[in-house]
Amino acid sequence: MDELLITGIQRFSVHDGPGIRTTVFLKGCTLRCPWCCNPENIRGEPEVYFKAEKCIGCLECVRRCSFLDKPGDIFRFPEHLECAGSCPSAAMGVYGEVKGADDVAEVILRDLDYYISSGGGVTFSGGEPLLQAEAILKVTSRTGDVHTAVETSLFAPMESVGRLRGEVDLFIVDVKILDEARCREVTGGDLEVFRRNLEGLSDERVLIRFPAVKPYTFNRENIRALIRFLKESGVDYIEVLGIHRLGLEKYRSLNLQMPEFSAPRDDEIKKLKWLLEKESIRMNYLKI
Amino acid sequence: MKKTMLNIARRTPLFPYLRAYYTLYLKQGLGPSLKTRIIGSHRKDILERRVHQLEKVCRNSRIHFNPGERFFYSIDTRIHVMETPGYRRLGNLTPDYGFLLERGLEGIGDMIDRAHDGDYTGVLRRSLRAVRLYLDRCREHSPEIAEKLGRVPLRPAETLEEALQSILFMNSLLWMYGHPLIGLGRLDSILEDYHEDPEESRELIRDFILSISSYYEFKSNVLPGDTGQVIVLGGDCNDLTGIFLEVMGELRLPDPKVVLRVNSKTPDEIWELSYRCLREGLGYPLFSNDDVMVDALSRYYSRSDALNYGTSACWEPLIPGRSSDQNNLANLNLLEPLEKALHGFRGEFDELLEGYRQELHRYIDEVIDNVESVRDEPSPLLSLLFPDCISNSRDIALGGAAYSINGVLTVGMGNLVNSLLNIRRLCYDEKIMDIGEVEDVLREDFRSAEPLRVSLEVMGPMYGMDEDDVVELTNTIIQMLDEKLEGRYKFGLSSPGYITVGESTGASFDGRRSGDPLGVHISPIRFTEGMSYTEVLNFAAALDYRKAFNGGVVDIMVDRPFLDRAGDEFIELIRTGLRRGVMQLQVNVVDPEILLRARDNPELYPDLIVRVWGFSAYFRDLPEEYRDLLVRRALEYSGHGGYSG
Ligand code: SF4
Ligand code: SF4
């Protein structure tokens, strides 16, 4: 387990935890949130993509792969990873790369000075990073004192949570839909798993995040449930993410339809803020 | 036929004047107004000539004063002092305004009298007399002017208002006398002693900036905005450092521009004020790292002078008031020797590098010969503001200044490094291509190799990444430059020539088509997907600036919405990058959407300011190729920092 399946490493990230951070995107997720900004991180194996807008029409891919008549055909042959990799302009390619923990740690450490001066560090995001908990530990054993955060939905095996407990400085937990049936219907997740895992983090530093998406999470019932949940868990600060339709290009590149949803309007966010403040919960709105 | 006409014309005594009109015509793109007054002189001796010209400027220039303005600052833009054939007019440097404030013209006169009596003393005396004549003319012009010029510039300044007025007076004369790109120097430190009440200083500095920013078109050199009016702040910060930054952030003018000298002692407040200027999209301050710069300069200048460094019109270092350094004498196009080295080449990569080295050295010799065939044109007026010229009794152009260490610029380093990396990868490591094919592909400008061209742009490690390989190769080239230039010419890694030189440069193996722009300073050629700011800064911090210090600017673009989210983190990014060893950094904050709209309809965004090489300018004033490059780069950078999760 010295290797990670990642889709990218983003340096100078500024909204995945405190300070200047490096975010490692791990591939593979247990949920299927319709508003997901990272559809390329959902499946647990490498997969081909095709970005039509970058294609220069050189047909290098067609020459290389006898199954293709045109670049768009690649979606019918998802196992042809190597053919996809032959595109000179990276219009066609593969999401997902297996990288050694050493290599990942080395990239993280390049920005050590920035973490120190800004109070930042590394964030493992995804996908669901908990699915590769073992590999994460391999990386952090090499990055030593670097502040480590994990951005998780907590819909993951309990053992994974157990493995990372005490090893990670901050758990950034997304709270999505708090009604059991709705949660299963929309995201495919079992809310019970989330609850148990969250209990397991009672001694840890946890930051709650709420992706605000209409109609899925940003509706009257769910907000009421959210506030109840926050009060019960004694949370006094959350980050609210306004999810815009940034993932559109990525959906297209995977030949997927992006589901319909929208971000709340500013006045709706203000109202949420007011509701939270009534319960003495502070919130920070990140528009992305 | 044309030739004979030209020969006949040449013989007429009017020819120099005609030529001067003609050059003006070319430079301004439209005929100089017939009212333009060309100041020539028939005196044979060059010093005589130059004094004579100064006398004419002082006698004849028209004087304006807008009642209600705090400072008197009059430039007769219809005066044109004719260049001396075979000479290069000095510009792009900074006189010693502190010296002027301390002594006043009278004190400078005393100093001339005390200096040993050479031929040149007479020249200086006459020049000073000419300046005083102009001063008298101004005073007689109106009582308001007489009041503003009460004690200064004759006497030493005693108040901030007097100090600023004194600088403005001499500055206006330098412009009229035809010196381009005149810097303002380290104004916060020069003026520190005159500063008392913060409110009052703020008002005065505001009005001073408004005066200095006037005559914008007249002062512009190659492009509108390219005035060379640089104010150097910082080093040791004082109250005025903050006041200048604050005032300039509020005024939102493209000109003058600020170079901020930063070091480990730069206070938080100054960083924050700088951030505010940047956020306004002004493109300045440009950050210059004292720790790196002073160390590098100490190789050529005394330590105490190095500590007092300022810059020429963009950012190339010199010592204000002490050096006549012409820092931008030529652009070394680093791709040119590669083209030669590749010609008919078959061999190993190391041999290619060695071939490059030889071609580079040959090329440098050529360029330097060219540069040295032209002499600096004397300037008794500038010499009055360089104390060493007075005590040495020698003109600034004839070795009067303490230093005259000229410099050259390099352009195309990123394109060269990427070309070499690509050649090494494709022809030697992966052996996909034969080295002989490289030349062919380039010669036909990738016409039948578009896929290859595209892949060269996006694949593999590239200039601007913090990979050891890339850093090492870049430092190797720096070393090659230093071997040839050391002790004779300073050289740096940034240049305003990326578009103009690119236009006449053939295709290169970084995937650049013939005629396309070269890379912008120390920045990735393309800020491709997955690149990051920390990476670029780490790369830049690892370069060998002890050798290459004549300008070395990392030029990054930041999308304004992203900047707003990054906030403090962004300041930390810059600070840490500089602490790690980045030498100079400038940040263009833009909103890509606005820029896109402005590209098509510039008139809709009359106030939009952008950074172009070493100056800030109105977007609407820029030629199309500059706009396009800015938009392209802005879009590349705007992909950064998208949220995922
Ligand atoms: S190789 Fe890439 S650029 Fe060329 S046709 Fe195929 S997808 Fe398009
Ligand atoms: S948990 Fe995150 S990565 Fe997984 S599907 Fe939902 S939004 Fe996407």
What's the N-to-C CA distance of chain A in angstroms? 34
* Contact between chains at B644 and A38 (C-beta distance less than 8 A): yes
In order of B89, B319, B362, B400, the CA distances from B374 in angstroms are: 10, 23, 20, 18
User: Which pLDDT belongs to residue A21?
Assistant: 97
Residue A32 C-alpha to ligand 2 middle, in angstroms?
Answer: 6
A153 touches chain B (CB under 8 A): no
Nearest to B643 among A15, A110, A111 (CB): A15
Gyration radius of chain B over CA positions: 25
Residue of chain A whose alpha carbon sits nearest to that of B449: A58
Query: B191 falls in which pLDDT band (50, 70, 90)?
Result: very high
Kindly tell me the burial class for residue B601, based on how many C-beta atoms sit within 10 Å of its own C-beta (0-12, 13-18, 19 or more). Answer: exposed
SS3 of B387-427: the string is HHHHHHCCCHHHCCCCECCCEEEEECHHHHHHHHHHHHHHH
Mean pLDDT of A200-211: 95
Q: Does B560 touch chain A (CB under 8 A)?
A: no
The larger pLDDT score, comparing residue B9 to residue A217, is at A217
Mean pLDDT over each residue of chain A, to the nearest integer: 95
* Type of residue at B632: R
pLDDT at position A91, please?
Answer: 95
- Return d(Cα B93, Cα B183) in angstroms, integer: 6
B533: nearest CA partner in chain A: A12
The answer, yes or no, to whether any atom of ligand 2 lies below 6 A from the CB of A240, is no
Ligand nearest to the CA of A64: 1
| B239/B188 Cα distance (integer angstroms) | 8
- Locate B250 and state its tokens: 């509020």
Cβ–Cβ contact A288 with B under 8 A: yes
Rounded-to-integer distance, Cα A196 and Cα A129, Å: 17
pLDDT (average), residues B240-246 = 98
Say if CB B402 and CB B388 are below 8 A apart: yes
From chain B, the residues in CB contact with A207 under 8 A are none
**CA-to-CA separations, A70 to A64, A75, A214, B62, B613, in angstroms, rounded:** 11, 11, 37, 73, 44
Indicate the pairing of strand B286-289 with strand B257-262: parallel
B186 CA from centroid of ligand 1 (Å): 55
Query: What does A248-269 look like in DSSP terms, one character per residue?
Result: HHHHHHTT-PPPP-BPPPHHHH
* pLDDT reading at B587 higher than 60: yes
Percent of chain A topping pLDDT 70: 100
Averaged pLDDT, B124-146 = 97
SS3 of B375, please? strand
Q: What is the mean pLDDT of chain B?
A: 93
Q: Kindly report the protein residue whose alpha carbon is nearest to atom 7 of ligand 2.
A: A36
* B290 touches B581 (CB < 8 A): no
Nearest ligand to the CA atom of A130: 2
Contact between A209 and A174 (Cβ < 8 Å): yes
Please indicate whether residue B30 or residue B620 has the higher confidence score (pLDDT).
B620
Q: With contact defined as beta carbons under 8 Å apart, do A239 and A245 qualify?
A: no
Is residue B120 within 8 A of residue B395, CB to CB? The reply is yes
Is a pLDDT exceeding 90 seen at residue B162?
yes
Kindly identify the ligand whose nearest atom is closest to the C-alpha of A53.
1
- The mean pLDDT of B242-270, rounded to a whole number, is 97
Residue A92 CB–ligand 1 contact under 6 Å: yes
pLDDT tens digit sequence for B14-52: 666 666 666 666 555 544 565 778 888 888 899 999 999
Q: What whole-number distance in Å separates Cα of residue B511 and Cα of residue B457?
A: 5
User: What average pLDDT does this structure show over B617-623?
Assistant: 93
Task: DSSP for chain A, please give it.
Answer: --EEEEEEEEEEESSSSSSSEEEEEE---S---TT-S-GGGTSSS-EEEE-GGG-----HHHHH-TT-SSGGGGGG-TT-HHHHTT-TTSSEEEE-EEEEHHHHHHHHHTTHHHHHHHT-EEEEESS-GGGGHHHHHHHHHHHTTSEEEEEE---S-HHHHHHHTTT-SEEEEE----SHHHHHHHH---HHHHHHHHHTTTTS-EEEEEEE-BTTTSSHHHHHHHHHHHHHHT--EEEEEE--STTHHHHHHTT-PPPP-BPPPHHHHHHHHHHHHHTT-EEEEEE-
Residue A171 φ/ψ, nearest 5 degrees: -100, 120
Say whether residue A120 is in contact with chain B using an 8 A CB cutoff: yes
Count of C-beta atoms within a 10 Å radius of residue B348: 11
Q: Cis peptide before A78, with omega less than 30 degrees from 0? A: no
**Rounded distance between C-alpha atoms, residue B154 and residue B130, angstroms:** 13
Residue nearest to atom 2 of ligand 1 (CA): A87
A97 touches B at CB < 8 Å:
no
- pLDDT for B644 equals 39
The number of the ligand 2 atom at minimal distance from the alpha carbon of A211 is 7
Pick the closest to residue B451 from B470, B471, B469, B433 (CA basis): B433
pLDDT score, position B614? 87
pLDDT value of position B642: 43
- Residue B164 predicted with pLDDT over 90: yes
Per-residue pLDDT of B293-341, as tens digits, reads 999 999 999 999 999 999 999 999 999 999 999 999 999 999 999 999 9
* Interchain CB contact of B143 with A (< 8 Å): no
Q: Is the CB of A87 under 6 A from ligand 1?
A: yes
Structural contact between residues B326 and B490, judged by C-beta atoms closer than 8 angstroms: no
Question: pLDDT class for B11, splitting at 50, 70, 90?
Answer: low
- Residues B355-394 pLDDT 10s: 999 999 999 999 999 999 999 999 999 999 999 999 999 9
Q: Which residues, at least 6 apart from B129, have a Cβ–Cβ distance to it below 8 Å?
A: none
CA of B269 relative to ligand 1 center, distance in Å: 51
Q: Tell me how far the alpha carbon of residue A71 lies from the centroid of ligand 1, in angstroms.
A: 6
Q: What is the pLDDT confidence band of residue A179, given thresholds at 50, 70 and 90?
A: very high
- Give the DSSP letter string of A110-143: TTHHHHHHHT-EEEEESS-GGGGHHHHHHHHHHH
Nearest to B552 by CA among B472, B474, B492: B492
Long-range (24+ apart) CB contacts under 8 A made by A271-274 are A272/A212, A272/A218, A272/A223, A272/A240
> Which amino acid appears at position A201 of this protein?
L
Report d(CA A136, CA A152) in Å as an integer. 13
Going by CA atoms, what residue is nearest to atom 3 of ligand 1? A55
Kind and range of the H or E run holding B163: helix B160-176
Separation CA B141–CA B66 (nearest Å): 12
Choose the residue to mutate in A49, A58, A80 for probing ligand 1, maximizing ligand atoms within 8 Å of C-beta: A58
- Choose among A12, A88, A125: nearest Cβ to B455: A88
Mean predicted confidence (pLDDT) in A2-22: 95
Nearest CB among B466, B572, B643 relative to A118 is that of B572
The answer to pTM > 0.80 is: yes
User: Could you give the count of Cα atoms lying within 13 Å of A156 in the half-sphere of its Cβ?
Assistant: 25
| pLDDT per position as a tens digit, A111-155 | 999 999 999 999 999 999 999 999 999 999 999 999 999 999 999
- In sequence order, the β-bridge partners of residue B618 are B609
pLDDT at B7: 64
Which of residues B27 and B272 earns the better pLDDT score?
B272
Euclidean distance between CA atoms B124 and B393, whole angstroms: 8
CB-ligand 1 contact for A61 (6 Å cutoff): yes
Q: Is A73 in the pocket of ligand 1 (CB under 6 A)?
A: no
Residue spans of alpha helices (H) in B252-386:
268-279, 290-297, 303-307, 335-342, 349-372, 380-384
Chain A residues whose CB is inside 8 A of the B579 CB are 113, 117
> Does residue B8 or residue B590 have the better pLDDT?
B590
Count other Cβ atoms within 10 Å, centred on residue A274.
9
Question: Which residues of chain B neighbour A11 with C-beta distances below 8 Å?
Answer: 532-535
How many other CB atoms are there within 10 angstroms of residue A14's CB atom?
25
Reply yes or no on whether the pLDDT at A158 is more than 50. Answer: yes
Q: How far is the CA of B451 from the centre of ligand 1 (A)?
A: 8
